[in-house]
Amino acid sequence: MLDKQVLMKMLKECNAEQAIHNLSKARGLDINNEALHQLKKLTRKDLRRGIVNPTKYYDLIVTCLESGDKRIYKKGLTKNYRLLGEIVQLAHDNKQMSSPMTLSNVCQYLDTGQASLYRVCHDYFGMGIIEMMTQIRLEEARRALLMQKQNHSVRKTTVHEIAIYYGFKHQGRFSRRYFTTFGELPSQTIEGAK
């Protein structure tokens, strides 16, 4: 595990004032150098086996922080990030999953227009808000089906109960949609999890 205090100590020891400023004050950095590519490569490798040598990380992070430029945000971009955060929060809200919202409900809830909502969702997710929320509900339903194995309670939840819980009122449509998305029926997911 990397420690921010160790990193700060290292930055102070090598008088990396720009890096200290970037780490403590900057909202984002644009970094495009070899150190960043090495850092990404090292991270991908260590994700599988764990961090073996944290010193390599600190050296690369110091280089990236020292050479990074303050990220320039376009005027409307911060508003889009706020809306994006609200969209993700709404899409993962358990209360909203059981009874899907209409597009006008979503716009009213987020206090935004359909055009803005459409643009942000397509830019970041490649699909509309309702489609994205349906996809998240499907993924949560799949997670619940896969959890049947770990759930050692006496009463097992049925596919129909899970479908209803995640806002799919018609089991046949749920199964078709599930099959289209995951390539197997919900019952096959349960069997595979056992």
Residue 173 near residue 160, CB atoms below 8 Å: no
Query: For residue 87, what are the domain limits?
Result: 77-133
Looking at 47, 70, 93, the residue that finishes a domain is: 70
> Tell me: the pLDDT tens digits for 146-155?
887 666 554 5
> Tell me: the pLDDT tens digits for 89-114?
888 887 877 788 889 988 888 888 99
Q: How many CB atoms lie within 10 A of CB 137?
A: 23
Q: Are residues 169 and 186 in the same domain?
A: yes
Q: Are residues 58 and 82 in the same domain?
A: no
Q: State both tokens at 154.
A: 């006496």
Q: Are residues 126 and 154 in the same domain?
A: no
Q: Are residues 81 and 111 in the same domain?
A: yes
> Tell me: the pLDDT tens digits for 43-82?
666 655 566 666 776 677 777 667 766 655 455 555 677 8
Strands (E), the chain: 29-30, 69-70
In the chain, the number of structural domains is 3
